[in-house]
Amino acid sequence: MKRISAICSMCMGILIATACSKNGTEKYNDENNGTDTSGVVVKPDDPSVAASIGFFQDRWAPKNFTAPAYTEATPPSSTTYAVNVDASVVLTKISPALFGNNSNPYMSQIVTEPVLMEHLTNLHPGIIRFPGGNISSVYFWNRQPGNPPADAPAKVLNADGYQTDPGYWYGGTTLSWSLSVDNYYKMLQLTGNEGIITVNYGYARYGTSADPVAAAAHLAADWVRYDNGRTKYWEIGNESNGNWQTGYRIDVSQNKDGQPALVSGQLYGRHYKVFADSMRKAAAEKGKTIYIGAQLLEHEPAFWANDVDKQWNSGVLQQAGAAADYFIVHSYFTPYNTNSNPQEVLASAGTVTKAIYDYLSSSISGNGAAMKPIALTEWNIFAVGSQQMVSQVAGMHAVMVWGELMKNKFGMASRWDLANAWENGNDMGLFSQGESASGETQWSPRPAFYYQYFLQKFLGDRCINATVSDSSANINAYASTFSSGEVSVTLVNRGAMTQNVALSFKNFNPGARFYWYVLNGGEGSTGFSRKVFINGAGPSGIAGGPAAYTTLKAYAASTGNGVKIALPPMSVVNLVVDKK
């Protein structure tokens, strides 16, 4: 079952090298091995929490770096480009909620799959969304299969007004290929992650009771009661503006509270307040605090878009801008159903992320509302035709998106999704479902898994500036610091040739050693590869990465001749420099 999402019509641009700031032009100081000659390191103050991050930063915790086991390596003797790392200013504490993913009800009971459970525990995405996607609009969390509420109609209308089977889903399922509500909770507890839950907004539209909005809000509130504080983050609906969504169009002859045939932002905003009121009361009964998100569009609708889209943000914000705890957007970065090349995929990470933030800022303020935390609860790429979604380029793109989310101060993000369907490689799943056509075993991690794992392994807890000396270098740099004092730098070489880089530092004196992992495509590929090699170790089969990823040794070298690193073609390097 493939999820259909809104078409992202963002314009693509040429992404210049950046890291939590604009590009710089300083040159590497070879005489001082790239260090600040003053020798004085001042601990910078933490900034106030950005409104666009807000409570998603509440679970931030300091991170201390522990040097990994390593293999001695020889850095390049000469370099072409400089990356200047400035630890004098903290741009933001890094939200721990940025690295989430989406589960779905068609990927097994999860807790019955030890291989998958081990990978999820190792990866620790932090947040896992449920039930996710369009299924949210037809999902009855407390019902058994085949037993929908009496006021859930046997037929619903599609966007064109034709009657169709709603295909309801149920939280009480015991089917081995599906995921129950209780096993979702169990999976979170066993893997050390937390949830974000999307409640069924569509039911407020197609329900046939005297007050379908109250009935749907009551269903959501009962879930909050059952949840009993296990989940802090909740969403009202999934892409509710979309004409692919159940509830977008309803049969007005079956509706009893005077709703229009088509949904609108104004209507959703009014309904949001009913849902939120019921859900907050339910949480208060349990002595718990929850946060409830309202859905916005992430970009300005095209001139040919329908009126629902064109008026969505203004309607939602005017009705519920003050009531919402946070704002939800989705993005699939690259043009819909397009055979985008590697450079087009990678360019979208920077241009689209910034465009989302800029558009939301303008839309929110333009409708008299205040900025709230921003949650990108679904994201991936729409590129198809060259197995882009299951390639190492998708992993590189993911690393860049996380860097740009930090820079643009998003509060939360969850990638789509843990497992989906092969579809000749047009598969957004982080793990394989084991279809024979894929040539993978069930629950084999795709390349993007390894890129996320090693990014998080070497990522600090505070985002700082890093700039590349030459904007034509096809290099992106993202930097952070650990509370224990070390500096982390993630370098992305988007080019087709090896590029040697020297790091220089402000307000940081390197210690004796630096450590790094190199991730690049199979057999040195500069196109789309289904393999990823990490410090030279690759998969045993036709796809994925090394099986022993948790015990791979880092490379390491002395800082005596400076911090210099070779970036292979189309590679990501995660690097940490010891403190003095």
Sequence-separated (6 or more) residues with CB below 8 Å from residue 377: 102, 129, 196, 198, 235, 293, 328, 329, 330, 412, 413, 414
pLDDT of residue 524: 67
pLDDT of residue 471: 83
**Is the confidence at residue 19, as pLDDT, over 70?**
no
Mean pLDDT of 37-50: 87
Domains in the chain with CATH codes: 54-95+461-579 (2.60.40.1180), 100-457 (3.20.20.80)
List pLDDT tens digits, range 231-275: 999 999 999 999 999 999 999 999 999 999 999 999 999 999 999
Nearest by Cα to 44 from 477, 504, 464, 410 = 464
User: In this structure, what token pair is assigned to residue 117?
Assistant: 């459970």
Question: Which 8-state DSSP code applies to residue 89?
Answer: E
Nearest by Cα to 386 from 438, 433, 338 = 338
pLDDT of residue 25: 33
Q: H/E element holding 520? A: strand 510-521
How far is residue 501's CA from residue 83's CA, in Å, rounded to a whole number? 7
How far is residue 350's CA from residue 343's CA, in Å, rounded to a whole number? 12
**Is the confidence at residue 106, as pLDDT, over 60?**
yes
How far is residue 279's CA from residue 269's CA, in Å, rounded to a whole number? 15
**Is the confidence at residue 28, as pLDDT, over 70?**
no
pLDDT of residue 522: 85
How far is residue 215's CA from residue 210's CA, in Å, rounded to a whole number? 9
pLDDT of residue 213: 98
List pLDDT tens digits, range 166-214: 999 999 999 999 999 999 999 999 999 999 999 999 999 999 999 999 9
* AA letter at 260: P
Contact (CB, 8 A) for 185 and 230: yes
The overall average pLDDT reported for the chain is 93
Q: Residue 17: which pLDDT band, with cuts at 50, 70 and 90?
A: very low
How far is residue 406's CA from residue 413's CA, in Å, rounded to a whole number? 11
φ, ψ for residue 451, nearest 5 deg: -65, -40
**Is the confidence at residue 7, as pLDDT, over 60?**
no
**Is the confidence at residue 29, as pLDDT, over 50?**
no
List pLDDT tens digits, range 289-335: 999 999 999 999 999 999 999 999 999 999 999 999 999 999 999 99
List pLDDT tens digits, range 447-498: 999 999 999 999 999 999 999 999 889 999 999 999 999 999 999 999 999 9
Sequence-separated (6 or more) residues with CB below 8 Å from residue 127: 97, 99, 100, 101, 193, 194, 195, 196, 233, 412, 414
**Is the confidence at residue 31, as pLDDT, over 80?**
no
φ, ψ for residue 533, nearest 5 deg: -105, 135
Q: How many residues in the chain?
A: 580
How far is residue 404's CA from residue 352's CA, in Å, rounded to a whole number? 9
> What separation in angstroms does the CA of 322 have from each of 198, 317, 368, 369?
20, 8, 9, 6
Mean pLDDT of 552-572: 97
**Is the confidence at residue 23, as pLDDT, over 90?**
no
pLDDT of residue 526: 80
Sequence-separated (6 or more) residues with CB below 8 Å from residue 224: 234, 279, 282, 283, 286, 290
pLDDT of residue 212: 98
Q: Does the bond joining 45 to the residue before it have cis omega, within 30 degrees of 0?
A: no
pLDDT of residue 38: 57
How far is residue 488's CA from residue 478's CA, in Å, rounded to a whole number? 8
pLDDT of residue 24: 35
List pLDDT tens digits, range 368-406: 999 999 999 999 999 999 999 999 999 999 999 999 999
**Is the confidence at residue 57, as pLDDT, over 90?**
yes
**Is the confidence at residue 37, as pLDDT, over 80?**
no
How far is residue 381's CA from residue 391's CA, in Å, rounded to a whole number? 11
Residue 550 backbone class (left: φ over 0; alpha: ψ -120 to 50; beta: rest): alpha
